[in-house]
Structures are given as structure tokens and as C-alpha cells.
Amino acid sequence: MKYYCATSSYEKSNIVLVGVPYDGTSSFRPGSRFAPNAIRENSDGIESYSPYFDKDLREKKICDMGDIPLPFGDKELVLDIVEKFSFKLIKNKKKLLSIGGEHLISFPLIKTFSKKYENLAVVHLDAHSDLIDSYRSEKLSHASVIRRISEIVGFENVYQLGIRSLNITDLNLPYRKDNLCLFNFDKVQDYVDKISSKPVYLTIDLDVLDPSIFPGTGTPEPGGVTYKELIDCLKKISVLNIVGCDVVELSPQYDVSGVSSIVAASVVREVLCLL
């Protein structure tokens, strides 16, 4: 099964969509490895046209390459496979949208993009800061992924929005008082102005949405943004030079209504429109 309208051949495509079904460090409620197929299945239930961006996916050349085949139980091998696979794609000048999976998948992806794009900026939408140095003695974890990414691209190049779950020591990390926006997206225009023409990697943890809208996630956090607020944020970000993106942390089995999977499929549509 492919994402709706993502039927272009790889050779003719400008945008490549790939699933990364990994949730090996999920610490509370695992299951995000089932997200890529749930998003594809539910994409059949939404229109190809985005009224928010006034664009239609039918007008874009998108290739859905399916899921990266990943082993179970060997985290370092998984990260290495994702890094090497993504490098081949961006080397061929494709814009890449990766669908997780848990948030740790962003680490090898951004590691790859940072090798190709000098002075890469990362825009991070999430309920959680993911800035702790290690979680249960694990330095490579969904809970520490942004800390590891900041060490690669520089703390000054990581811009966080919608955060409402963090450790107080996170606020003492470099540039966090300027580049961390609590609860909402109020700083997004300031970030856009600061980032300017830099290449940007956008990582969207779907639990940035309020659980009343998006309960199907491994670590739900009350007090989140609405879908419309998320779209308005994406519209402001769309003026940036976005070179890659991921959408992570749908765990479809925790929402028996299926609404969370539809929301995730819709977010993917909007991201495909802005790429």
C-alpha cells in the first residue's frame, strides 16, 4: 500500500516518502512501528487537495518507497541502516519525508542531512523537549534525541516549539532561553526571521497536538495545540528552505476510533504540500 497520490516512480520524483517502523526505545507505550502503514491506509480517506496551502498532491511528483526493512533488537544497526539509506536518497537530490516510528529515528536522519547541508537548522515541534543527556542510562533514546541532535548541528541551530514537558535543567542548556517556546508556537515568526536562508530540517512529533485531538500516541501530554494551530505554524515555516522532514510518534492502536491515524495522514499531506 502507498500513501495516496504518492505514485510517481523514484526516477521521476522530487519528493520521496519512506516509512521507518522502529520503536525500540519507547519507554511508556510502544507501538509507533505500526504508524507508517496506518498512515498510508488512512490517507485513502482524505482528499489530495489541501485548502490550507491551496495545493494538490496530484500536481506533485511523490514516490512512496515503502518501509525501510529494519531488524528488531539491535538499535545501533537500525540507526546505521537509516543513516545509510537516507544518504543515498538525498545524494540523488530528493526531498525526503520520513514517517516514524519513534522520535529516535530523527537522529540518523539529521546526522545524514548535516553532512550534506552546512549550517543546518532544525525546527522541532513536540510536547517534550527530549533534551536530557540520558534516559535510564541510554544516551540514544527517544527522550534524549534532541540533545544528541543538538550536539551534531549546534544548540544554536535547534529551534523548539510547543514544548510542555521538560526537565528544569533543560533551560540552562545553551540557547534554550531564546530557542525554546513553551506551550505554543508564539516564537515561530521570530525563528523564521533568525533562520532566514539556512537549510532546515523539520521534525514533527505528533504529540505536540493536544490528546483530545490526538490520543493515539505513546506519551500523551495534556495542554497541546490544536490542529489548526499546527497548520498555521506550518504555513509560517513553509517560507523556509526545508530540505527534509519527519513525522513521528503515532501509535495507532491507542485510538480505537482511528481518528489519530487520520490526523497523522492529514499532517503528512500538509507537509508534502510545503516541501
- Residues at the annotated binding site for Mn(2+)? 103, 126, 128, 130, 205, 207
8 A C-beta contact, residue 36 and residue 20? yes
Report the C-alpha gap between 115 and 55 in whole angstroms: 31
Cα Rg for the chain, rounded, in angstroms? 17
End-to-end CA distance of the chain: 22
The grid coordinates of residue 152 equal: 551534531
Which helix or strand (DSSP H or E) is residue 122 part of? strand 121-125
Contact present, 265 and 45 (Cβ < 8 Å): yes
Question: Positive or negative, the Cα torsion across 187, 263, 3, 6?
Answer: negative
Binding residues: 103, 126, 128, 130, 205, 207
What's the sign of the alpha-carbon dihedral 106, 107, 112, 114? Answer: positive
Burial class (CB in 10 A: 0-12, 13-18, 19+), 233: buried
